[in-house]
Amino acid sequence: MNTEAPRVATWLAERFLTSPRRESLIGDLVEQYREGRSATWYWGQVLRAIVVSITEELAAHKLLALRAVAVGMIATYLLQIGPIVWVGVPAEDWVIRRVVNCEATGGGFWCQFWVNQFSFELVVYVACALTGWIVARLHRPHRVAAVCVFTVAFLLWRFVETAFFSQHPPPDAMSVSFTTVYVVDVVAEGGRALAILIGGLAGARHEHVLVPVERRAS
Partner 1 sequence: MAREFLGGFELLVLLALIRLGDEAYGVPIGKAIQESSGRNVALGSVYITLERLETRGLVTSERGEPTAVRGGRAKTFFRITAQGLREVRNAQRTLVRLWGGVPQLERTTA
Nearer to partner 1 by C-beta: 34 or 206?
Answer: 34
Q: Which of 28, 93, 161, 172 binds partner 1 (CB under 8 A)?
A: 28
Share of the chain residues as helix, strand and coil, in percent rounded to the nearest 5:
85, 0, 15
Q: Which of 48, 140, 205, 206 binds partner 1 (CB under 8 A)?
A: 48
Tell me if 141 contacts partner 1 by CB under 8 A. Answer: no
Nearest partner of 39 among 85, 2, 70, judged by Cα: 2
Candidates 44-52, 106-114, 128-136, 204-212; binding stretch for partner 1 (CB under 8 A): 44-52
Min dist. Cβ of residue 21 to partner 1 (A): 5
Tell me if 211 contacts partner 1 by CB under 8 A. Answer: no
* Amino acid letter for position 78: L
Tell me if 27 contacts partner 1 by CB under 8 A. Answer: yes
**Cα–Cα distance between 186 and 94 in angstroms, integer?**
26
Tell me if 30 contacts partner 1 by CB under 8 A. Answer: yes
Tell me if 207 contacts partner 1 by CB under 8 A. Answer: no
Could you tell me which residues come within 8 angstroms of residue 145 by beta carbon, excluding any fewer than 6 positions away?
18, 54, 57, 58, 61, 64, 65, 68, 139
Min dist. Cβ of residue 68 to partner 1 (A): 20
**Cα–Cα distance between 9 and 5 in angstroms, integer?**
8
